[in-house]
Structure 1
Protein backbone atom coordinates (compact mmCIF):
# COMPACT_ATOMS: atom_id res chain seq x y z
CA UNK A 1 0.00 0.00 0.00
CA UNK A 2 2.76 2.44 0.97
CA UNK A 3 4.54 1.89 -2.35
CA UNK A 4 1.36 2.68 -4.29
CA UNK A 5 0.81 5.90 -2.34
CA UNK A 6 4.47 6.85 -2.79
CA UNK A 7 4.25 6.23 -6.54
CA UNK A 8 1.10 8.36 -6.72
CA UNK A 9 2.88 11.06 -4.69
CA UNK A 10 5.78 11.14 -7.15
CA UNK A 11 3.51 11.18 -10.20
CA UNK A 12 1.25 14.00 -9.01
CA UNK A 13 4.25 15.92 -7.64
CA UNK A 14 5.99 15.70 -11.00
CA UNK A 15 2.77 16.83 -12.68
CA UNK A 16 2.58 19.84 -10.38
CA UNK A 17 6.19 20.72 -11.10
CA UNK A 18 5.47 20.62 -14.85
CA UNK A 19 2.08 22.36 -14.67
CA UNK A 20 3.23 25.33 -12.59
CA UNK A 21 5.51 26.80 -15.27
CA UNK A 22 3.08 25.83 -18.04
CA UNK A 23 0.31 27.77 -16.29
CA UNK A 24 2.60 30.76 -15.79
CA UNK A 25 3.72 30.82 -19.43
CA UNK A 26 0.14 30.53 -20.67
CA UNK A 27 -0.97 33.41 -18.44
CA UNK A 28 1.98 35.52 -19.59
CA UNK A 29 0.87 34.96 -23.20
CA UNK A 30 -2.60 36.22 -22.37
CA UNK A 31 -4.42 32.89 -22.25
CA UNK A 32 -6.89 32.35 -19.40
CA UNK A 33 -5.39 28.84 -18.91
CA UNK A 34 -8.29 27.62 -16.78
CA UNK A 35 -7.54 23.97 -17.56
CA UNK A 36 -3.91 24.38 -16.51
CA UNK A 37 -4.99 26.18 -13.34
CA UNK A 38 -7.39 23.38 -12.42
CA UNK A 39 -4.78 20.74 -13.25
CA UNK A 40 -2.15 22.50 -11.10
CA UNK A 41 -4.57 22.79 -8.20
CA UNK A 42 -5.47 19.10 -8.57
CA UNK A 43 -1.80 18.13 -8.65
CA UNK A 44 -1.07 20.11 -5.48
CA UNK A 45 -4.12 18.58 -3.79
CA UNK A 46 -2.93 15.13 -4.87
CA UNK A 47 0.54 15.76 -3.46
CA UNK A 48 -0.95 17.01 -0.22
CA UNK A 49 -3.33 14.05 0.14
CA UNK A 50 -0.65 11.48 -0.64
CA UNK A 51 1.79 13.25 1.69
CA UNK A 52 -0.85 13.19 4.43
CA UNK A 53 -1.34 9.44 3.98
CA UNK A 54 2.42 8.88 4.06
CA UNK A 55 2.80 11.10 7.12
CA UNK A 56 0.01 9.39 9.04
CA UNK A 57 1.27 5.89 8.25
CA UNK A 58 4.92 6.63 9.04
CA UNK A 59 5.55 8.19 12.47
CA UNK A 60 8.86 9.60 11.24
CA UNK A 61 7.06 11.71 8.64
CA UNK A 62 4.25 13.13 10.79
CA UNK A 63 6.00 16.47 11.06
CA UNK A 64 5.40 16.91 7.31
CA UNK A 65 1.62 17.01 7.75
CA UNK A 66 1.53 20.75 8.62
CA UNK A 67 3.84 21.46 5.66
CA UNK A 68 1.42 19.67 3.35
CA UNK A 69 -1.56 21.59 4.74
CA UNK A 70 0.22 24.94 4.33
CA UNK A 71 1.12 24.04 0.74
CA UNK A 72 -2.54 23.42 -0.10
CA UNK A 73 -3.65 26.60 1.66
CA UNK A 74 -1.12 28.62 -0.35
CA UNK A 75 -2.26 27.14 -3.67
CA UNK A 76 -5.99 27.54 -3.05
CA UNK A 77 -5.71 30.99 -1.51
CA UNK A 78 -3.49 32.17 -4.36
CA UNK A 79 -6.05 31.04 -6.92
CA UNK A 80 -8.96 32.57 -5.03
CA UNK A 81 -7.22 35.91 -4.46
CA UNK A 82 -7.36 36.89 -8.11
CA UNK A 83 -10.65 35.20 -8.94
CA UNK A 84 -12.43 37.03 -6.13
CA UNK A 85 -10.49 40.28 -6.57
CA UNK A 86 -9.46 40.45 -2.93
CA UNK A 87 -7.96 43.77 -1.87
CA UNK A 88 -4.26 43.83 -2.74
CA UNK A 89 -4.50 40.50 -4.59
CA UNK A 90 -1.80 41.69 -6.99
CA UNK A 91 0.65 41.77 -4.09
CA UNK A 92 -0.46 38.53 -2.47
CA UNK A 93 -1.09 36.18 -5.38
CA UNK A 94 2.53 35.81 -6.54
CA UNK A 95 3.61 35.00 -2.98
CA UNK A 96 0.80 32.52 -2.43
CA UNK A 97 1.01 30.61 -5.72
CA UNK A 98 4.80 30.98 -5.78
CA UNK A 99 4.90 29.61 -2.24
CA UNK A 100 2.94 26.53 -3.24
CA UNK A 101 5.33 25.92 -6.13
CA UNK A 102 8.37 26.54 -3.91
CA UNK A 103 7.00 23.89 -1.55
CA UNK A 104 6.85 21.37 -4.41
CA UNK A 105 10.41 22.17 -5.48
CA UNK A 106 11.64 22.05 -1.88
CA UNK A 107 10.02 18.65 -1.39
CA UNK A 108 11.73 17.32 -4.49
CA UNK A 109 15.15 18.67 -3.53
CA UNK A 110 14.92 17.51 0.08
CA UNK A 111 13.78 14.02 -0.99
CA UNK A 112 16.52 13.73 -3.60
CA UNK A 113 19.45 15.29 -1.78
CA UNK A 114 18.64 15.40 1.91
CA UNK A 115 20.97 18.38 2.07
CA UNK A 116 19.98 21.17 4.50
CA UNK A 117 20.52 23.80 1.77
CA UNK A 118 17.60 22.22 -0.11
CA UNK A 119 15.28 23.69 2.52
CA UNK A 120 16.38 27.26 1.78
CA UNK A 121 17.58 27.38 -1.81
CA UNK A 122 14.15 27.26 -3.53
CA UNK A 123 12.80 30.06 -1.35
CA UNK A 124 15.80 32.29 -1.99
CA UNK A 125 15.82 31.63 -5.74
CA UNK A 126 12.07 32.25 -6.01
CA UNK A 127 12.21 35.80 -4.68
CA UNK A 128 13.27 37.58 -7.91
CA UNK A 129 10.58 35.90 -10.08
CA UNK A 130 7.93 36.61 -7.42
CA UNK A 131 8.99 40.25 -7.27
CA UNK A 132 8.88 40.46 -11.06
CA UNK A 133 5.39 38.94 -11.13
CA UNK A 134 4.20 41.47 -8.57
CA UNK A 135 5.70 44.32 -10.59
CA UNK A 136 3.98 43.11 -13.77
CA UNK A 137 0.62 42.66 -12.07
CA UNK A 138 0.81 46.18 -10.62
CA UNK A 139 1.92 47.64 -13.96
CA UNK A 140 -1.11 46.16 -15.71
CA UNK A 141 -3.38 47.62 -13.06
CA UNK A 142 -1.82 51.09 -13.09
CA UNK A 143 -4.04 53.74 -14.63
CA UNK A 144 -2.66 55.25 -17.81
CA UNK A 145 -0.67 58.40 -17.31
CA UNK A 146 -2.52 61.58 -18.21
CA UNK A 147 -1.18 63.01 -21.43
CA UNK A 148 -1.98 66.69 -22.02
CA UNK A 149 -3.83 67.36 -25.25
Structure 2
Protein backbone atom coordinates (compact mmCIF):
# COMPACT_ATOMS: atom_id res chain seq x y z
CA UNK A 1 0.00 0.00 0.00
CA UNK A 2 2.79 2.43 0.92
CA UNK A 3 4.52 1.84 -2.43
CA UNK A 4 1.30 2.56 -4.34
CA UNK A 5 0.72 5.76 -2.38
CA UNK A 6 4.32 6.81 -2.95
CA UNK A 7 4.04 6.19 -6.70
CA UNK A 8 0.83 8.26 -6.85
CA UNK A 9 2.43 10.96 -4.73
CA UNK A 10 5.50 11.28 -6.94
CA UNK A 11 3.47 11.14 -10.16
CA UNK A 12 0.94 13.76 -9.11
CA UNK A 13 3.67 15.94 -7.63
CA UNK A 14 5.57 15.87 -10.92
CA UNK A 15 2.34 16.67 -12.77
CA UNK A 16 1.71 19.65 -10.50
CA UNK A 17 5.25 20.93 -10.97
CA UNK A 18 4.84 20.73 -14.75
CA UNK A 19 1.28 22.08 -14.93
CA UNK A 20 1.89 25.14 -12.74
CA UNK A 21 4.17 26.86 -15.26
CA UNK A 22 1.89 25.83 -18.16
CA UNK A 23 -1.06 27.50 -16.47
CA UNK A 24 1.02 30.58 -15.71
CA UNK A 25 2.33 30.82 -19.28
CA UNK A 26 -1.20 30.63 -20.66
CA UNK A 27 -2.40 33.34 -18.28
CA UNK A 28 0.53 35.56 -19.24
CA UNK A 29 -0.68 35.26 -22.83
CA UNK A 30 -4.18 36.29 -21.67
CA UNK A 31 -5.63 32.84 -22.30
CA UNK A 32 -8.11 31.28 -19.93
CA UNK A 33 -6.33 27.91 -19.63
CA UNK A 34 -9.22 26.24 -17.82
CA UNK A 35 -7.85 22.80 -18.65
CA UNK A 36 -4.41 23.52 -17.25
CA UNK A 37 -5.96 25.17 -14.19
CA UNK A 38 -8.23 22.21 -13.48
CA UNK A 39 -5.42 19.72 -14.06
CA UNK A 40 -3.11 21.68 -11.73
CA UNK A 41 -5.75 21.73 -9.00
CA UNK A 42 -6.40 17.99 -9.37
CA UNK A 43 -2.66 17.29 -9.22
CA UNK A 44 -2.12 19.49 -6.16
CA UNK A 45 -5.09 18.01 -4.32
CA UNK A 46 -3.91 14.50 -5.15
CA UNK A 47 -0.33 15.14 -4.06
CA UNK A 48 -1.59 16.80 -0.87
CA UNK A 49 -3.85 13.87 -0.08
CA UNK A 50 -1.26 11.19 -0.80
CA UNK A 51 1.36 13.17 1.09
CA UNK A 52 -0.90 13.41 4.13
CA UNK A 53 -1.62 9.67 3.93
CA UNK A 54 2.08 8.84 3.68
CA UNK A 55 2.86 11.10 6.63
CA UNK A 56 0.20 9.42 8.74
CA UNK A 57 1.59 5.98 7.87
CA UNK A 58 5.16 6.87 8.89
CA UNK A 59 5.96 6.91 12.60
CA UNK A 60 6.73 10.42 13.82
CA UNK A 61 5.78 12.19 10.60
CA UNK A 62 2.08 12.78 11.20
CA UNK A 63 2.81 16.50 11.65
CA UNK A 64 3.58 16.68 7.91
CA UNK A 65 -0.08 15.93 7.12
CA UNK A 66 -0.84 19.58 7.93
CA UNK A 67 1.40 20.66 5.03
CA UNK A 68 -0.65 18.53 2.66
CA UNK A 69 -3.86 20.13 3.88
CA UNK A 70 -2.41 23.65 3.67
CA UNK A 71 -1.10 23.08 0.14
CA UNK A 72 -4.53 22.00 -1.07
CA UNK A 73 -6.23 24.93 0.65
CA UNK A 74 -3.79 27.38 -0.96
CA UNK A 75 -4.39 26.02 -4.46
CA UNK A 76 -8.18 25.89 -4.23
CA UNK A 77 -8.40 29.30 -2.55
CA UNK A 78 -6.15 30.81 -5.22
CA UNK A 79 -8.34 29.45 -7.98
CA UNK A 80 -11.52 30.65 -6.28
CA UNK A 81 -10.18 34.13 -5.52
CA UNK A 82 -10.35 35.28 -9.12
CA UNK A 83 -13.36 33.22 -10.14
CA UNK A 84 -15.47 34.54 -7.26
CA UNK A 85 -13.99 38.04 -7.49
CA UNK A 86 -12.94 38.18 -3.86
CA UNK A 87 -12.14 41.66 -2.59
CA UNK A 88 -8.49 42.43 -3.41
CA UNK A 89 -8.18 39.16 -5.34
CA UNK A 90 -5.42 40.68 -7.48
CA UNK A 91 -3.24 40.92 -4.38
CA UNK A 92 -4.30 37.65 -2.80
CA UNK A 93 -4.34 35.23 -5.72
CA UNK A 94 -0.61 35.29 -6.57
CA UNK A 95 0.25 34.53 -2.96
CA UNK A 96 -2.22 31.66 -2.72
CA UNK A 97 -1.37 29.97 -6.02
CA UNK A 98 2.32 30.82 -5.66
CA UNK A 99 2.25 29.40 -2.15
CA UNK A 100 0.84 26.11 -3.42
CA UNK A 101 3.60 25.90 -6.03
CA UNK A 102 6.25 26.81 -3.45
CA UNK A 103 4.90 23.98 -1.27
CA UNK A 104 5.27 21.50 -4.14
CA UNK A 105 8.82 22.69 -4.78
CA UNK A 106 9.67 22.54 -1.09
CA UNK A 107 8.39 18.98 -0.86
CA UNK A 108 10.51 17.92 -3.82
CA UNK A 109 13.67 19.56 -2.47
CA UNK A 110 13.20 18.28 1.08
CA UNK A 111 12.62 14.74 -0.19
CA UNK A 112 15.62 14.86 -2.51
CA UNK A 113 18.17 16.67 -0.36
CA UNK A 114 17.05 16.55 3.24
CA UNK A 115 18.81 19.87 3.66
CA UNK A 116 17.35 22.44 6.08
CA UNK A 117 17.82 25.01 3.29
CA UNK A 118 15.22 23.11 1.27
CA UNK A 119 12.58 24.28 3.76
CA UNK A 120 13.44 27.96 3.26
CA UNK A 121 14.94 28.44 -0.19
CA UNK A 122 11.79 27.86 -2.29
CA UNK A 123 9.82 30.35 -0.19
CA UNK A 124 12.53 32.99 -0.54
CA UNK A 125 13.03 32.49 -4.28
CA UNK A 126 9.29 32.25 -4.86
CA UNK A 127 8.75 35.80 -3.63
CA UNK A 128 10.07 37.32 -6.85
CA UNK A 129 7.62 35.67 -9.29
CA UNK A 130 4.77 36.14 -6.81
CA UNK A 131 5.54 39.87 -6.54
CA UNK A 132 5.79 40.17 -10.34
CA UNK A 133 2.43 38.43 -10.78
CA UNK A 134 0.85 40.70 -8.17
CA UNK A 135 2.28 43.77 -9.92
CA UNK A 136 1.04 42.57 -13.32
CA UNK A 137 -2.48 41.97 -12.00
CA UNK A 138 -2.54 45.37 -10.30
CA UNK A 139 -1.40 47.08 -13.51
CA UNK A 140 -4.10 45.28 -15.49
CA UNK A 141 -6.74 46.65 -13.13
CA UNK A 142 -5.78 50.28 -13.80
CA UNK A 143 -7.85 51.73 -16.65
CA UNK A 144 -5.75 52.82 -19.63
Give the TM interval when normalised to the shorter protein.
over 0.9
**1:59 Cα offset (Å):** 2.1
Q: Secondary structure at the match of 1:59?
A: coil
> Structure 1: 5+ residue runs without aligned partners?
145-149
Give the structure-1-normalised TM-score: 0.95
Q: Secondary structure at the match of 2:30?
A: coil
Structure 1 stretches of at least 4 aligned residues deviating more than 2 Å after TM superposition: none
1:69-148 map, 5 Å: 69-144=69-144
CA RMSD of aligned residues (A): 0.7
Give the structure-2-normalised TM-score: 0.98
CA distance in 2, matches of 1:115, 1:57: 23
CA distance in 2, matches of 1:55, 1:110: 14
Give the length in aligned residue pairs.
Answer: 144
CA distance in 2, matches of 1:93, 1:76: 10
> Structure 2: 5+ residue runs without aligned partners?
none
Name 2:39's counterpart in structure 1. Answer: 39
**1:126 Cα offset (Å):** 0.7
